[in-house]
Structure 1
Amino acid sequence: MFAVTVTYTAPLNEVDRWRPAHGEWLNDLIARRLLLMAGRRPQWVGGVYVAPGMRAEEIDRLLATDPYLVNGVAEHHVVEFTPLLVAAGLEELKSKD
């Protein structure tokens, strides 16, 4: 599984230009369960995504299509982790290893 932090690298007025395309991108990935959740960080500095397990190359290819990244207004930082403990109802996210 991956936790991805997004940090804006441009002023908010430039980020806002790409917000609709970014929102469509997120909604599509969530509908296809390529992302499990996405949200805004406080003070409008960026966001956070949680992605299910896949190969590192796949998450890199996926994130490279983010309109924010494509248009040079944000950067991603990816952390891979193995979910061992999960809340009730989220057992399908727990590592099978």
Structure 2
Amino acid sequence: MFVLDLTYTAPVAAVDAVLEAHVAWLDEQYAAGTVLASGRKNPRDGGVIIALGSDRAAAEKLVASDPFTVAGVCEYRITEFAATKTAPELAAHREQPAS
């Protein structure tokens, strides 16, 4: 599982110009079962996405396909973690830590 922490690198007006495409991309990722949660940071200087993926390369490929990345309005910090404990609603996504 991955925490995708994005930080805007452009003014919010430039981010807003790509926002509709970013939201459509998120909708595609939810439909594909790749993204579990997402939202803006407060204050609004970026966002956070909780995503599933087989490895870091998959997360990097996902991030590269985001219209925000393509437009150059944000940078991503990718953190991989093993979700060893979850809310009951996310039990299907529990993982075993790497040995």
Structure 1 runs (4+) deviating above 6 angstroms are none
Partner of 2:79 in structure 1? 79
The aligned length equals 97
Q: Please give the alpha-carbon distance, in whole angstroms, between the structure 1 residues aligned to 2:64 and 2:74.
A: 11
Task: Map 1:11-90 to 2 at 5 A.
Answer: 11-90=11-90
Q: TM-score, normalised by structure 1?
A: 0.94
Q: CA deviation at 1:96?
A: 4.3
> C-alpha offsets along residues 39-61 of structure 1, whole Å, 9 cap, x if unaligned?
11001111000011312111111
The Cα RMSD (Å) is 1.1
Question: Which position in structure 1 is the counterpart of 2:3?
Answer: 3
User: Structure 2: how far apart are the matches of 1:90 and 1:65?
Assistant: 25
Runs of 5+ unmatched residues, structure 2? none
In 1, the alpha carbon distance for the partners of 2:53 and 2:75 equals 21
Stretches of structure 1 lacking an aligned partner (at least 5 in a row): none
Contact 2:4 2:48 in 1 (8 A): yes
